[in-house]
Chains A and B, each alone.
Chain A
Amino acid sequence: MTQILLDFDPTGNCWSMEDYKKRGGYTALEKAVKMDPVELRELVKASGLRGRGGAGFPTGLKWSFFPQETPYPKYLCVNADESEPGTFKDRYLMEYDPHKMVEGAIIALWALHADACYIYIRGEFDLCETRTWQAIEEAYAAGYLGDNVLGTGRAMHMYVHKGAGAYICGEETALMESLEGKKGQPRIKPPFPAVVGIFGGPTTINNVESVAAVPWIVNNGADAYRAFGTEKSPGTKLFSASGHIEKPGVYEVPLGYPLKDFLEKECGGVWRGKQLKAVIPGGSSVPVLTAEEALDCMLDYEDLAEKGSMLGSGGFMALDEDTSMVTALRVLAHFYADESCGQCTPCREGTGWIYKVLVRIEQGLGSWEDLDMLLQTADNMTGKTICPLADALAMPVQSYVTKFRDEFEECIRTGRPVAPRTYFS
């Protein structure tokens, strides 16, 4: 299957400019700077590329919101704060093919007529930061960045900004706050980033994978991109597969690929001969699917949404029959409680509360009211907060407690803590 994004050999020095150019790197940029920015934006729109960070918002449409007339400098931000549990595809791209992201970002700067790009890299990604800076320096040396890019007379600059260990800074407005040196707390929208972004200037924020797909689209055209995937979800997507599978890793498949095939072929099936129990298709924030539901799904935005989950970031996690869903939910809740920025009341208090209740249930100290209270609390948090982190906990809580209610009830009925998993049975 044609690899749009994973076209490198990870055993070699694939992150260097030399290797990237051997694979046809920067031909797209040279082509793009000869195009009219409007034409380039239309091309990306026509390709149907959707944001690969989790929301799936059409990239071309987002670019079309970008104002051209403004007294402020215009910015592009690449959101490399990949922190969604189960997701490690951006890390893979940045460690092994940072030039793809850099080239895509420069093309985006050209298309948006923007002045500078900040790549916001998660604080823990040291290797990504090193390789990305290296790629940027190589790009400057080659004249792909600077005060006069490729002789066009346009100045385009790129910088890496490192985060400091907060999931919430992957939310676009919190990212902007952090970039500006402030506490990473999301802003209320409106105003939207395209109107007031970083340092007061219009800003477009795109995910690493979205930006990395742009060079191929420029080189091969919108129709060629649409040849992959489905009508509403064109193109390919990276899935970071982990969990109880034989072959965890990052895989690129066309959107609309059957989940069953992905699990059997790419992931090598459930490990150690176990049975599948549940699948989290798109990162921990999406509703969980039972094995039965999952094997019926296609990996695209529409089908998963119809089946009650979401494609999200593509953080694919498979859970086997020995998994306690109570433990799994408790682990997730701990993450959200820890990462909540604390700005608004429902999320700040609700995430901590849900976590404490789950700990209690897992220890066998739950009571019957707790389950309905969990569902109500999750409902109370939904839709009332500044950013969707509260919803990102509420959705798993609702799906786990509803679909695997018997496991929770068992804990409450027996009054015994969940037995810890033994790996070597």
Chain B
Amino acid sequence: MSTVKIKIDGQELEVAAGTTIIQAAHEQGINIPYYCYHPGMVPDGNCRVCLVEVEKAPKLVVSCKTPVADGMVVHTGGEKVEEGRKGVMEFMLVNHPIDCPVCDQAGECKLQDYYFDYDLQDSRFKESKVHKRKVVELGPNVMFDAERCIMCSRCVRFCRDVSETNELGLFNRGDRTEIGLAPGATLDNPYAMNVVDICPVGALTSRQFRFQKRVWFLEEQASTCPGCARGCAIKADFDPAQNRVYRIRAAKDLDVNGYWMCDDGRFTAARDAENRLLQAILPAGETNAATWLLESWQAADKHTIVVDPGQTNEVYERVARLRDAGAEVRVSEGLGTAAYAVEEDDFLISADKNPNRAGLQAILGEVPAWDGKAEGLVLAIGRDPGNLPAGAILLSPWLPASAVSAIPIASWWETDGTSTNLDGISRSVQAVLEPTADVLQACSWLGRLQPAEDEA
């Protein structure tokens, strides 16, 4: 692969041929502002905010579309560039409604951020702004405000190139341009909410998240999505004061999901927060879950562990240890495709709606399926498979489906660990929320039953 030598802001760099200036700059941590550029899509060059000065070029160039050339000298700052950027920022704000007090994007809005970083001029616009539709249902999950839109076309390009569903287009021209739906279309493809992630302003908003919480009250935690075996990298935005996840966004992982995730995955946190088991359900007369569990385990001479494919690798390692000590292991079905709109596609969505079957197979090998029949004590971990025998013990984040004893454990969102996706790639699962007081980690319970040599 050939390289060229260039200079950006006085720094000498050797860059792969074909890289654009903005990519080269970002690799070095040099900040060039942008709206329409997105590293996961073909650059468009229409916002004109990423203008930089290239020596010997007659005009400022857009760094997102200009490939590096040998000997190129680039300035990302300086008077010319600053004047250019200020000019473009002024134009951006000319017709933009100052909706900040009611706009969800406030606090994470690139218009706000770049205004403070690069502009800071009073408005000179005394005319009437262009008015457009403000509350448009584009689809079941996405709302659109045409006035706020800066026509960067990221959403149009996403639907054209990434989801390949072409629901969105640009209609009319000039300052009357509006994003709109193709005739007869709805924005309901399985990846529709990615356009909310990538919209740099508050034009596209999630119908579930809008007006729920100001983003400066939220903290961000990276983790892995439990929606299916793809295990997309995600960012969970949660309110630590309420211990609740408000929003899930896609995170970048070039080996797993690129920059995107499916809509179903965004609802997994809300799904997992329902029907929580928060206090142990023990047989009459028992009050201490820990002692009762240990006694029951030690009293039985045969043990069967039923584990679902949605646990972390660390849980499976503990199960392996218990199997080495003599327990039988079975795998339950976990979640099927029934509740999902899309079974499977050739992009991200896997037909296996459980996040860690690959990890289970890697650690426990071929495990027979659970068929409801077992000898001895049955200890189930994860979702209630529905066919546990009487006298079984369920370790689960959720309420049991039948009248078995149950001990609460932390959910995926409250767990630290690792999981392996369908391509064999392992990633961290990081706790986003704090489990409530009586809820312990599954690993902790399993560890008590069979401590490791160095843990006894």
Contact = CB atoms under 8 A, between A and B. Distances in A.
A384 B173 contact: no
Contact of A373 (B49, B62, B124, B172): B124
Given A380-B88, A384-B48, 4 more contacts: A188-B45, A340-B173, A344-B48, A346-B87
B86 to A, nearest CB: 8
B87 A342 contact: no
Nearest to B125: A353
A175 B453 CA distance: 75
A381 B94 CA distance: 13
Contacts of A385: 48
Given A188-B62, A349-B95, A386 B177 contact: no
A45 interface: no
A102 B260 CA distance: 51
A352 B174 contact: yes
Contact of A345 (B88, B127, B173): B88
A-side interface size class: 20 to 34
Interface string B142-181: 0000000011000000000000000001101111110000
A339 B48 contact: no
A343 interface: yes
Given A356-B128, A380-B87, A343 B59 contact: no
Interface string A312-344: 000000000000000000000000011111111
Interface in B33-63: 45-49, 51, 58-60, 62
A352 B172 CA distance: 14
B173 to A, nearest CB: 5
A350 B94 CA distance: 8
A380 B65 CA distance: 21
30 contacts: A183-B169, A183-B170, A337-B174, A340-B175, A341-B173, A342-B151, A342-B170, A342-B175, A344-B45, A344-B48, A345-B48, A345-B88, A345-B91, A346-B88, A348-B91, A349-B92, A350-B91, A351-B175, A352-B130, A353-B91, A353-B94, A353-B125, A353-B127, A380-B87, A380-B88, A384-B48, A384-B60, A384-B88, A386-B45, A386-B46
Contacts of B49: 345
Interface residues of B, number: 35
A357 interface: yes
Given A343-B46, A357-B127, A349 B176 contact: no
A345 B47 contact: yes
B95 to A, nearest CB: 6
B90 A380 contact: yes
Nearest to B85: A384
B165 to A, nearest CB: 17
Nearest to A384: B48
Contacts of B95: 349, 352
B334 interface: no
A346 B91 CA distance: 6
A340 B175 CA distance: 8
Nearest to B153: A343
A345 B51 contact: no
B127 A348 contact: no
Nearest to A183: B170
A66 to B, nearest CB: 23
A131 interface: no
A129 to B, nearest CB: 23
Nearest to B177: A342
Interface in B87-143: 87-88, 90-92, 94-95, 124-128, 130
A200 interface: no
A349 to B, nearest CB: 4
Nearest 8 CB-CB pairings of A with B: A380-B87, A342-B177, A356-B127, A352-B175, A349-B91, A340-B174, A383-B59, A349-B94
A360 B47 CA distance: 28
Contacts of A386: 45-46
B77 interface: no
A78 interface: no
B205 to A, nearest CB: 22
A371 B150 CA distance: 27
Contact of B173 (A342, A346, A349): A342
Contacts of B190: none
Nearest to A380: B87
A176 interface: no
B45 A341 contact: no
Of A188, A348, A351, A380, most buried by chain B (CB within 10 Å of CB) is A348
B92 A384 contact: no
Contacts of B65: 188
Contact of A341 (B48, B127, B174): B174
Of B49, B62, B124, most buried by chain A (CB within 10 Å of CB) is B124
Given A339-B174, A352-B175, A345 B128 contact: no
A346 B59 CA distance: 14
B84 interface: yes
A348 B175 contact: yes
A348 B87 contact: no
A346 to B, nearest CB: 5
A384 B59 contact: yes
A166 interface: yes
A136 B444 CA distance: 84
Contacts of B90: 380
A345 B201 CA distance: 15
A383 B59 CA distance: 6
Given A344-B46, A386-B45, A380 B91 contact: yes
A168 interface: yes
Nearest to B172: A342
A385 B48 CA distance: 7
Contacts of B91: 345-346, 348-350, 353, 380-381
Of B46, B47, B124, B169, most buried by chain A (CB within 10 Å of CB) is B46
Given A340-B174, A386-B46, A345 B124 contact: no
Contacts of B59: 383-384
A380 B49 CA distance: 13
B288 to A, nearest CB: 67
B404 to A, nearest CB: 61
A360 B169 CA distance: 33
A348 to B, nearest CB: 5
Nearest to B171: A183
A338 B62 CA distance: 25
Interface string A217-246: 000000000000000000000000000000
A384 B92 CA distance: 13
Interface string A371-388: 001000000110111100
A158 B62 CA distance: 37
Interface string B380-394: 000000000000000
A5 B95 CA distance: 47
B187 to A, nearest CB: 19
Contacts of B124: 369, 373
A346 B169 CA distance: 21
A166 B174 CA distance: 11
Nearest to B89: A345
Contacts of B48: 344-346, 384-385
Nearest to A356: B127
A52 to B, nearest CB: 24
A136 B113 CA distance: 57
A338 B173 CA distance: 8
Contact of B92 (A166, A345, A356): A345
